[in-house]
Amino acid sequence: MSLTRRTFLHRGGILTAALALPQGVHFPQPPKPQRPAPKFRTTLDSSSLARFVDPLPIPAVAQPVDHHPSPANPSIKLPYYRVAMRQIESKVHRDMKPTRLWAYGSSSPGPTFDTRSSQGILVEWANELPTQHFLPIDHSIHGAESDKPDVRTVVHLHGAKAPADSDGYPDNWYVPGKSALYHYPNQQDAAMLWYHDHALGINRLNVFAGLLGAFFVRDEVEDALNLPGGKYEIPLIFYDRVFDLEGQLNYPVSGDPKSPWLPEVFGDALLVNGKLFPYLDVEPRQYRFRVLNGANGRFFHLSLSNRQTFHQIGTDQGLLPAPVELKRVILAPAERADLIIDFSASAGEQIIVRNDSFDVMQFRVATKKNRSQGNPARDASTLPAVLRPVPKIPESAAVNTRMLTLVEVDDLVQRPVTMLLNNAHWKMPVTENPVLDSTEIWSLINTTDDSHPIHLHLVRFQILDRRSFDVSNYWATGKLKFFGPPIPPDPAEAGWKDTVRADPGMVTRIIIRFEGYPGRYVWHCHILEHEDNEMMRPYDVIAKP
C-alpha cells in the first residue's frame, strides 16, 4: 500500500465514522477466545516445485440418484442429487504430501453439474464435515462470534435464478450432521454457474478449504452453435492458495491473535482444478475452455506463452453476441470466461498458460499423427461469427437509480478494519428493495483504492459504463465531479454479467432487471475477505403490489 492510499483511505474512514455511522465504527471484542491463537507457519515456496508433472484433473460429472417431486409442482418429478461435504486428502502436486481439504463429494473442485435450461433439479447438500475448523476463525467478525459453531456451511449457486429459500442465504448455515434440500429451476440461459460456500463470517475460510465446484446450464441456442463439446470442452477453475512445508493449507493471518482477519489474501501457489502446474494433452484442433476465477481475492490475467490469440464467446451469464478476439483475459474473483482456443497451428508444441509472467499450466499439443492417441478425429466444431443476441436494456427502462458507495474503514493506525457498502453493516435494515420485474440502475461509487468485484444474487445485468470521479471532492461535498467521459465496458464484458469489476475512483453503472422470485437475497463484494467483513448487504425483491 502506498502512503497516498493510506492517507486517502483514512480520510474516508474518518468521514464514515463521523458522519455516516452516528454510532461510530464499532467492533465488539471477542468474549473469551478459548481456542489456540492462529500461528504463523513457514510457507512452502511453490516456485521450487517441478512444473507440469501432473495431468490436469477434470472433476466428475454429478449424477442424480433419484427423482423427487418438484416443490413448485408436486405432480412433476425432478432429478434429485445428493452432495456431501467431506474432509478429504488430495495430492495437489506429485512432490507434495496429501493436503487436507474440504470438498463437495470426493474432490475439490467438487463434481460438475451438467444441466439443461428449464429442467429443474433438486440438490440435497449434506454437511458431513468434522466439527472443528482447521483454518483460523476470526471471532471478532460479525456472524463468527465465539458462541457460534466453528463448522457451519450453506451452499450458494452463483449465477442461479433460484427461489430465495434455495439461494443459500448467509444466515441459513447448518452444522455437521444436517443438510438442506435446494431447488434450482434452471429457468435461465445456458451459462457457466458455480457453487460455493456462503456461511456468514467464515465464507472465505470454507471456500479456501475447498468448497467450490462448477455448474453448467445448457440450452438449444448453444446446441445449435456446434461448439467443441464432450472431451473438447473443459472446465478450468483457477485459484491461489498458500501451503506450509507439510503441504497443508496455510491461510494467512494478521499479527493479532484476537483478530486474525486480513483484508486481502493472496497465495503464491496457483492451482487449476485443484492441481499445481498441471498439464493437459490436447489435439491440434479447437477446444472450448470454461474458465472460472474461484480465488478468494486474486485477479487473474491469463495469456498463452506462444502469444497466440483466442476467442472469448461468453461471460458470466452466457454467450456474447459475437466472439471477441483476445491475447489476454482478465478475470476478477467469481467472473467466468467461455474461451475457444485453436491449437490446430501448434501441433507438437507445448504452450504455457501464464498469469502475468507466472507459469500456471501447460497444454501439450499432439503431433498430427500421435500413435498413443490414434488419429485425432476431424474437428467439425465451428467458431460462429454470431452467437446469441444480447439486446441492450435501454436506460429509459430504469424506474430507479441507486447511488451506492464502496468504502474502506481504517483504524487509527490506518489499517483497514472493515469494508462497507453504502456505509451500512450487514445487520442494518434493508435499503435496496427493487420491485419484481422492474429495472434499476445501480451506480457503484468506489471511493477505495481497490477494484471490488460486485455480485448480485438472483439477477443478471449489463454494464453501462465506468467513469472516473474526484474522490476527495466527493468526501468533502457528497457530490460527484467527473474527470472524463464515461467509458463503455470492454467488448468481453458486453454480455450478461452477474459480477462486475468496480474499479477504484470510478463510478461503475450497471442496469438490472429484477426477474425471478421475490424474497431476500444478497449483494456483495466477491473478494471473500471483504465479503466476510461487512462488504455484503441483504436486499429484498418486492412482489409487485
Binding site residues, ligand C2O, CB under 6 A: 156, 158, 196, 198, 334, 455, 457, 522, 524, 526
Q: Shortest Cβ distance from residue 132 to ligand C2O (Å)?
A: 25
Strand residues in 411-518 grouped as ranges (E): 416-421, 439-446, 452-456, 461-468, 499-502, 506-513
Q: Give least dist CB 522 to ligand C2O, A.
A: 6
Q: Which does 525 bind (CB under 5 to 8 A by kind): Cu ion, ligand C2O, none?
A: Cu ion
**CA 356 to CA 159: how far, in whole Å?**
27
> Considering beta carbons, is residue 317 or 499 the nearer one to Cu ion?
499
Residue type present at position 213:
G
Q: How far apart are CA 176 and CA 178, in angstroms?
A: 6
Q: Which helix (H) or strand (E) holds 264?
A: none
**Which of Cu ion, ligand C2O, none does residue 527 bind to, with CB < 5 to 8 Å depending on kind?**
Cu ion
For residues 383 and 313, give the distance between their C-alpha atoms in angstroms, rounded to a whole number: 9
Cβ–Cβ under 8 Å, residues 145 and 104: no
- Please choose which of ligand C2O, Cu ion, none residue 537 contacts, taking the beta carbon within 5 to 8 angstroms, the exact cut-off set by kind: none
Q: Are 312 and 326 in contact (CB under 8 A)?
A: yes
452 binds, among ligand C2O, Cu ion, none (CB under 5 to 8 A by kind): Cu ion
Q: What does the block give as the cell for 455?
A: 455480485
Whose Cβ is closer to Cu ion: residue 71's or residue 504's? 504
From the list ligand C2O, Cu ion, none, which binds 524 (C-beta under 5 to 8 Å, kind-based)? ligand C2O
Question: What residue 455 binds from ligand C2O, Cu ion, none (CB within 5 to 8 A, per partner kind)?
Answer: ligand C2O
Which lies closer to Cu ion via its Cβ, residue 144 or residue 500? 500
Nearer to ligand C2O, 10 or 455 (CB): 455
Q: Assess contact for 320 and 312: CB atoms under 8 A.
A: yes
196 binds, among Cu ion, ligand C2O, none (CB under 5 to 8 A by kind): ligand C2O
Round to whole Å and give the CA distance between 451 and 185: 33
Smaller CB separation from ligand C2O, 127 or 499: 499
CB closer to ligand C2O out of 265 and 326: 265
Q: What is the 3-state secondary structure (H, E, C) of 102-160?
A: EEECCECCCCEEEEECCCCEEEEEEECCCCCCCCCCCCCCCCCCCCCCCCCECEEEECC
**CB–CB of 545/433 below 8 Å?**
no
Nearer to Cu ion, 285 or 530 (CB): 530
CB of 475 to ligand C2O, least distance (A): 28
CB of 52 to Cu ion, least distance (A): 33
When CB distances are held under 5 to 8 angstroms depending on the partner's kind, the choice from Cu ion, ligand C2O, none that residue 417 binds is: none
CB of 206 to ligand C2O, least distance (A): 12
Q: How far is the CB of 291 from ligand C2O (least distance, A)?
A: 15
- Name the pairing type of β-strands 506-513 and 519-525: unpaired
* Residue 530 binding target from ligand C2O, Cu ion, none, CB below 5 to 8 Å by type: Cu ion
Q: Closest distance between ligand C2O and the C-beta of residue 164, in Å?
A: 13
Distances (CA, A) of 204 to 144, 319, 449: 12, 29, 21
Phi-psi region at 508: left, alpha or beta (left = phi > 0; alpha = psi -120 to 50): beta
In the bound complex, which residue of the shown chain has the CB atom lying closest to Cu ion? 525
Indicate which of ligand C2O, Cu ion, none lies near residue 334 (CB less than 5 to 8 Å, by partner kind). ligand C2O
Identify whether the C-beta of residue 237 lies closer than 8 Å to the C-beta of residue 107: no
Q: Compute the least distance from the CB of residue 498 to ligand C2O, in Å.
A: 8
Residue type (1 letter), 206: N
Q: Cβ closer to ligand C2O: 216 or 287?
A: 216
Residue 465: exposure state from Cβ atoms within 10 A (0-12, 13-18, ≥19): middle
Residue with Cβ nearer ligand C2O (168 or 284): 168
Report in angstroms how near the CB of residue 390 gets to ligand C2O at its nearest.
22
Number of helices (H) and strands (E) in the chain: give both, helices first: 5, 31
Q: How far is the CB of 469 from ligand C2O (least distance, A)?
A: 27
Shortest distance (Å) from residue 266 CB to ligand C2O = 19
Beta strands 77-90 and 121-127 are parallel
Q: Collapsing DSSP states into helix, strand and coil, what is residue 46? A: helix
Facing residues of 107 across strands?
104
Task: Find the shortest distance in angstroms from Cβ 481 to Cu ion.
Answer: 24
- For β-strands 439-446 and 461-468, DSSP reports them as unpaired
Task: Give residue number: closest CB to ligand C2O.
Answer: 158
- Binding partner at 162 among ligand C2O, Cu ion, none, C-beta below 5 to 8 Å by kind: none
For Cu ion, the closer of residues 458 and 502 by Cβ is 502
Nearest to 108 by CA among 272, 313, 345: 272
Cα–Cα dist 205/381, whole Å? 41
Nearer to ligand C2O, 199 or 522 (CB): 522
- Beta-sheet pairing, 439-446 with 400-410: parallel
Rank residues 139 and 198 by Cβ distance to ligand C2O and give the closer one.
198
The C-alpha atoms of residue 176 and residue 170 are separated, in whole angstroms, by 16
- C-beta closer to Cu ion: residue 452 or 467: 452
User: Minimum Å distance from CB 524 to ligand C2O?
Assistant: 6
Which of ligand C2O, Cu ion, none lies near 501, with the C-beta cut-off 5 to 8 A by kind?
none
513 touches which of Cu ion, ligand C2O, none (CB within 5 to 8 A by kind)?
Answer: none
Question: Which residues of the chain form contacts with Cu ion (CB under 5 A)?
Answer: 452, 525, 527, 530
